[in-house]
Structure 1
Amino acid sequence: MKKALVAAAVIAIGAGAYWATQHGTEQQPGHAALAYVPADTPVFSAQFTPFPLKDYIDSIPDAQKQYPQELQALMQDENEPRAKFFFGLFNRYMQGMKDGQTFVTTFGLPEDLTSYFYTLGALPVLKLDIANPEVFWALLDSIEAESGLNHEMRKLAQVDYRAYPLTEPGEEEQIDLVFAIDNGMLTITLATSFSDPALLETALGIKPVTNPISESGIIEDIFAKHGFLKDGVSYINHQELVKAITTQDGNQLAKQLTHLFTMVNDDPFVELRSEVCNRELNGIAANWPRTVMGYTEFAVKDKQTTMGFSTVIESNNQVIMGALSQIRGFLPAYTQDVKTSVFSMGLGVDVNQFVPAISKVWDDLLTPQYECAPLQQMQAQMQGQSPAMLGMFTGMANGVKGLSMSLMDYELSDATQQIELKGLDAIVTLSADDPATLFNMVKPFAPELANVQLPSDGSAIDLSAALGLPPALGVSAKMAVKGNHLTVYSGEKSQAIAEALAGETLASNGLVTMSADYGKMFKPMMTLMEMSGEPVPPEFESLKDYNMKLKVDMDVNAQGIVIDSWVQTHQ
């Protein structure tokens, strides 16, 4: 078993446990575990209030609980004990996902739990509530018996813990996977022969840190700045990461890396630790200090979960943020309604402002006279290019504010022994200052549109003949100018949307949006398969009830670059 696979398995198990525990309801952070989290941790995520794990799993569509076939095939050929141990854990995880009660019973977890994930420098620590420790230990015992990987019982102060070796016994340096349960909380971390022994004491909740996150104001600042629900919060501290690679002792991670590089007699960051690189890279990090994540909506009820969360790449660079705000274009109202469409997407870009805005960003990146060699190389590469060249491509789209589309409904048929599109309800929209003029400019480049005359009164024309759509297909395409919007649509729902667009005036209201209703997306395909009388392949059977709606938006605000996500799942 290669070390890389062992490391990947550790990450996968940790990530799975982390993502399974990131939800809850409102409460101020004040948990005792925060006394053991240093303020300079580069990565932090916490669920401050009990997340309804059992009910959440019951709300997940069965299609999301299917065992990855590729992984199953890989497991059958694996004989290395460490790999078999991690695969055994993953097996129990997938078996437990059958339903919420099975999951919590399998792992000895409570129905509602809190959790924490952070790093002590580079050392990862995962903590979560445990209800039945004896069940969890019995689970590990059974996996040990199957895999042949045995633990060693150890004790640190008053805490007993299990250590599973991740390295070969004869190797000079040792790494162990650690499991401990104390005061109703499970801790999963690593212990190494080359790290400070005090780190394990802190990870196990024995020795508090001298600069705890609970006294730093970091969490309170994130909630106040971004308005997240106080269910929980996550962040990546860019400034601490830059300190780690530009200093030898600027934070805990820097000290650990320095020690590690001394051991191997090789420092890959030696160039970045010069005085000029330290100063200049930390200056960049000050402009982009953190990526923060928090909840904007959360509810679990009647086997349905509705969750909204926001990710913000914080920025203090007013030039770049101003340029991105300048690019913002128009997104129609229909792209915001995930509940009525199958799939929607929209790109809001003010084409007239695109090149000037990108030029501002370019100039801002080239303005500092960097002395740090890697930054000088970056600038040298940028100087050989110019965003002004983009003007050649954007000139034809003068006045464009956005391009959007939505699939409202569709129907398939196999009447001719081949799958065909029987019905289509969809719309494509080009929003611009003068959409009719843009259409007339494009006509010479599309011979099939040469004879199409677009009415100026907003009435629709039939494009079916021009686009070569056969009558037997049962799909017609119509085009019309509705106010500032050139629309091409098919179907009654899309026609209603097109009519409503006439009342929507252009505004700078976003950058990118995308939404999908997976249930509606897969239903026609599954219906057709069932009607054909042929057996439905197992890999498609689970898609029949894939009840999940998803919406993702990217925009900018006063705090930085924002990615808002909304998801709803139900059985």
Structure 2
Amino acid sequence: MKSLIVAALVAAGGGGSYWFWQQQQSGEVELGGYVPADTALYIGGQTSPAIVSQLEHLYAQPDMGTDIKMLASEIEQGGDYPALNRFAASLMRDLFAPGTDIQALYSRLGLVISGPQQLFVDGLVPVLHISAEKSATFTQFWAQHGRSAGLPVFENELDGSPYTRIQLSPPEEANRIDLIVAQTGEMAVLTFATPFDSDNELAQRLRLKQPEENLLQSGTLGQIAQRYGFTKEFSFLFDIEAIAKAVLGVDQTRMAKDLEALFALTQEPAPAATLTQVCREEYASIAGWVPRIVAGYTSIQTEPGVSISSRSVLEVKSGEVLNQLNLLNGHVPNHVADANQQLFGLGVGLDMDQLMPVTVQLWNQFTQQTFACAELRQMQQQAASNNPAMLGLFTGMAQGIKGVGLSLYDFTYGNAIQPIKSLDLLLSVATQNPALLASMAAGSPAAAFGQIPTDGSTASVDLSEIQPGLSAEVGLKGQHLTFAMGAKGRAAANALASEALEPNGLLAMSLNYPAFGRLVEAFPLDAIEPLITDSETSVCLERARVVELLRQQPVKAAYRMGFSPQGFDSTVDLDIDAQEEPGLINPVGSFTLYDQTWDCPQGVMVGLEEIRADGTGTYEENDESGACSTYAYDYRWSQSGNRLSFDITSSRGRSDCVGDWEEYGTFAASCTLIPSAEGFGCIYEDDESDGLFAYKRR
């Protein structure tokens, strides 16, 4: 699914962040009080309306419709239980219907977008609690889809409270898995019932009874927030140690009991069945070295735009190991982290002087550890036969290097002969031995830089072999070897003169989505079009999708990771500009259509279309000579934002001007509108095809 991959690009920078939550003091008792204290996964808080209003347009991206239809169709046709397949496909089509945003989805489900919500596991069973309106809309939504798909749907009661049970297993199966849907007060519940559940456990999931030991009483979330500087707006907990102990059977938690019951039910051996008790305990002890992943927000602002700083930590509890790992942090040049000043930045930090000794020390710690488990002793023997001293051959050549950074500030495409019209960038290397590195770089046959000044000045590098007239500047700025092009690149290089080599992590990255979108849009694909015409993928169409996707993302993102005194630490900073209402494109008029799916700059003239103000329209294609119409359809249209939906009421075609017309029937299609001076562009989708079209006014 190409466009799903495109959407993932945005999600990587925070574009898909629907879990922007505010955890209220009043809601904390309601939420944590119904969560078992030994849960292995918890995500909870309260959505912020201000943030949702900035991000709701990300829910239904312009090119998702076709992918959703394809995926729903594949689900419907696969599997061994047709009713369950129909249920899953129907839900997908409804939840991801074209034009659906977060507000519309919550309204359709009867949910309250600004209320408290939480997702957790009760043993093995996922449970969702989410604020809802005082109505039966939520339960009716699920029940209706279940009945329409042919699944058995039951209305039950527990302790006097009603709930809906949708049987997901085939009727002939004795051990049933049911989807449980309910509303308790102003909180909707979505969970499952398994053959090894008791009424008491189901009552806890339905918020009818609190667990005797719950997450609120344990104080776990408060302790995490205090330790890591998290605000009260969002909580995430993933307990690696608890899962390992449950799988290994060394703790009698709810998850461990569920696993034991599950394997007994399926008559399958447990994963740890062949392990001795001492091996189970020692494996569980190793899992305790990295017991949890925790995450939360460290700051959040919603005016005028949205600014969010978040942090996630993979905890490392072995003090000796953590001390060694922290020595690996290098110096990532600071210029890569400023998303406001560049299109893209990427930096890697690694203290090359520490890599060899740290690796040897960690290797020694593992090989000298005392284990009673035979499998672990065998691993030690294998590790002992692979001496890491050979790593010194590599690290010796990079002595003194602490990090490398690349910042792309600007790029303008020229033409096929001279593709680089202008380029603004900085490549820098942070080193404790700048003069030595400069000497090595100058003497490199690949570099041919000549003498690199060591007094803070720069030397010009002729890059005519790459492109005539192209040049760059190299020099030493403090403890940084720099290679700069363009005014911004040179200014950033000069600023490095005062930047000390302080350990600040392993990786840093920044991305300015709007600026990157403009770069993608300006890059002409006609130069490479002959290379892609035989491909199944239209680069023209995919570029239009990426540009439209990035155009809607007013996001500047910065990411950093490295080791800290708590473990493996990562931070994300997002700046989301206040969204302006996009100018609505008026599609009414008479147009000549050009198919640009495989011909980006011009397109091939394919037909004439009239879109009328009364909500109707017609489309016609002529034969090659233009003498007559050979294909036509009539439709009704509606507009939501800059998305057109077409309901084709009749379509017909013929082979030539004297042939008989053949009726083709009805179908549905959609068009995401793209601004254009001559009319508008259209990213077109129907059940069988997609394409890129230019509508030029006649």
TM-score for the superposition, normalised by structure 2: 0.72
Superposed, 1:105-124 pairs within 5 Å as 105-124=107-126
Q: Partner of 2:675 in structure 1? A: none
The amino acid of 2:94's aligned partner reads R
Output the CA distance in 1 between the equivalents of 2:105 and 2:71.
24
Deviation string 1:495-516 (CA, Å, 9 cap, x unpaired) is 0001111111222222211111
Cα distance 1:374–1:20, how it changes in 2: closer, same or farther (>3 A)?
farther
Q: Partner of 1:12 in structure 2? A: none
Q: Partner of 2:428 in structure 1? A: 429
Output the CA distance in 2 between the equivalents of 1:63 and 1:523.
22
2:159 to 153, 157, 160: 157
Query: Are the equivalent residues in 2 in contact too, given 1:247–1:273 (CA < 8 A)?
Result: no
Q: Partner of 2:631 in structure 1? A: none
Deviation string 1:468-516 (CA, Å, 9 cap, x unpaired) is 23236xx432211111110001110110001111111222222211111
SS in 2 for 1:168: coil
Superposed, 1:124-523 pairs within 5 Å as 124-131=126-133, 133-140=135-142, 143-144=145-146, 147-149=149-151, 151-247=153-249, 250-271=252-273, 274-301=276-303, 304-413=305-414, 415-416=415-416, 420-444=419-443, 446-450=444-448, 452-465=450-463, 468-471=465-468, 475-523=470-518
Residue 55 (structure 1) shift: 4.8
Residue 240 (structure 1) shift: 1.6
Once the two structures are overlaid, the 10-residue window that deviates more, 446-455 or 517-526, is 446-455
Once the two structures are overlaid, the 10-residue window that deviates more, 133-142 or 159-168, is 133-142
The amino acid of 1:507's aligned partner reads E
Q: Partner of 2:47 in structure 1? A: 51
The amino acid of 1:542's aligned partner reads L
SS in 2 for 1:327: coil
2:71 is the counterpart of 1:74: yes
Output the CA distance in 1 between the equivalents of 2:251 and 2:495.
61
SS in 1 for 2:189: strand
Q: Partner of 1:14 in structure 2? A: none
The amino acid of 2:478's aligned partner reads G
Q: Partner of 1:4 in structure 2? A: none
Larger fraction in helix: 1
Higher relative contact order (CA 8 A, sep 6+): 1
Query: Are the equivalent residues in 2 in contact too, given 1:245–1:272 (CA < 8 A)?
Result: no
Output the CA distance in 1 between the equivalents of 2:418 and 2:173.
59
Deviation string 1:157-215 (CA, Å, 9 cap, x unpaired) is 22222222222111232111111111110111111123334321211112321211222
Output the CA distance in 2 between the equivalents of 1:157 and 1:163.
15
Output the CA distance in 1 between the equivalents of 2:273 and 2:442.
56
SS in 1 for 2:288: helix
Q: Partner of 2:551 in structure 1? A: 544
Query: Are the equivalent residues in 1 in contact too, given 2:39–2:121 (CA < 8 A)?
Result: yes
Query: Are the equivalent residues in 2 in contact too, given 1:246–1:272 (CA < 8 A)?
Result: no
Cα distance 1:202–1:25, how it changes in 2: closer, same or farther (>3 A)?
closer
Cα distance 1:145–1:174, how it changes in 2: closer, same or farther (>3 A)?
closer
Cα distance 1:81–1:422, how it changes in 2: closer, same or farther (>3 A)?
farther
Q: Partner of 1:65 in structure 2? A: 61
Runs of 5+ consecutive residues of structure 2 not aligned to the other structure: 1-15, 528-538, 580-698
Q: Partner of 2:37 in structure 1? A: 39
Residue 22 (structure 1) shift: 4.4
The amino acid of 2:421's aligned partner reads K
Output the CA distance in 2 between the equivalents of 1:502 and 1:97.
51
SS in 2 for 1:555: strand
Query: Are the equivalent residues in 2 in contact too, given 1:26–1:229 (CA < 8 A)?
Result: no
Runs of 5+ consecutive residues of structure 1 not aligned to the other structure: 1-17
Query: Are the equivalent residues in 2 in contact too, given 1:309–1:565 (CA < 8 A)?
Result: yes
Q: Partner of 2:613 in structure 1? A: none
Once the two structures are overlaid, the 10-residue window that deviates more, 277-286 or 477-486, is 277-286
Deviation string 1:95-137 (CA, Å, 9 cap, x unpaired) is 3864453233222222412111111111111111012533334
The amino acid of 1:123's aligned partner reads V
The amino acid of 1:331's aligned partner reads V
Output the CA distance in 1 between the equivalents of 2:363 and 2:65.
44
TM-score for the superposition, normalised by structure 1: 0.87
Output the CA distance in 2 between the equivalents of 1:451 and 1:44.
55
Query: Are the equivalent residues in 1 in contact too, given 2:308–2:573 (CA < 8 A)?
Result: yes
Q: Partner of 1:20 in structure 2? A: 18
Once the two structures are overlaid, the 10-residue window that deviates more, 60-69 or 178-187, is 60-69
Once the two structures are overlaid, the 10-residue window that deviates more, 23-32 or 504-513, is 23-32
The amino acid of 2:549's aligned partner reads S
Output the CA distance in 2 between the equivalents of 1:131 and 1:139.
13
Once the two structures are overlaid, the 10-residue window that deviates more, 151-160 or 122-131, is 151-160
1:89 to 76, 91, 97: 91
Once the two structures are overlaid, the 10-residue window that deviates more, 312-321 or 136-145, is 136-145
Cα distance 1:26–1:486, how it changes in 2: closer, same or farther (>3 A)?
farther
The amino acid of 2:511's aligned partner reads A
Output the CA distance in 2 between the equivalents of 1:341 and 1:451.
26
Query: Are the equivalent residues in 1 in contact too, given 2:20–2:52 (CA < 8 A)?
Result: no
SS in 1 for 2:136: helix
Query: Are the equivalent residues in 1 in contact too, given 2:507–2:560 (CA < 8 A)?
Result: yes
Output the CA distance in 1 between the equivalents of 2:556 and 2:226.
29
The amino acid of 1:134's aligned partner reads A
Query: Are the equivalent residues in 1 in contact too, given 2:139–2:164 (CA < 8 A)?
Result: no
C-alpha RMSD of matched pairs (Å)? 2.9
How many equivalent pairs are there?
Answer: 544
Q: Partner of 1:3 in structure 2? A: none
Residue 374 (structure 1) shift: 3.7
Output the CA distance in 1 between the equivalents of 2:524 and 2:145.
40
Query: Are the equivalent residues in 1 in contact too, given 2:60–2:100 (CA < 8 A)?
Result: no
Residue 425 (structure 1) shift: 0.9
Query: Are the equivalent residues in 2 in contact too, given 1:65–1:94 (CA < 8 A)?
Result: no
SS in 2 for 1:85: helix
Output the CA distance in 2 between the equivalents of 1:52 and 1:495.
42
Residue 535 (structure 1) shift: 8.0
Larger Rg: 2
Residue 243 (structure 1) shift: 2.1
Once the two structures are overlaid, the 10-residue window that deviates more, 371-380 or 480-489, is 371-380
The amino acid of 1:478's aligned partner reads E
Deviation string 1:73-97 (CA, Å, 9 cap, x unpaired) is 2323524332332333333333386
Query: Are the equivalent residues in 1 in contact too, given 2:60–2:96 (CA < 8 A)?
Result: no
Q: Partner of 1:103 in structure 2? A: 105
**What is the percent sequence identity of the aligned residues?**
26
The amino acid of 1:359's aligned partner reads V
The amino acid of 1:340's aligned partner reads Q
Cα distance 1:167–1:142, how it changes in 2: closer, same or farther (>3 A)?
closer
SS in 1 for 2:310: strand
Output the CA distance in 2 between the equivalents of 1:133 and 1:31.
23
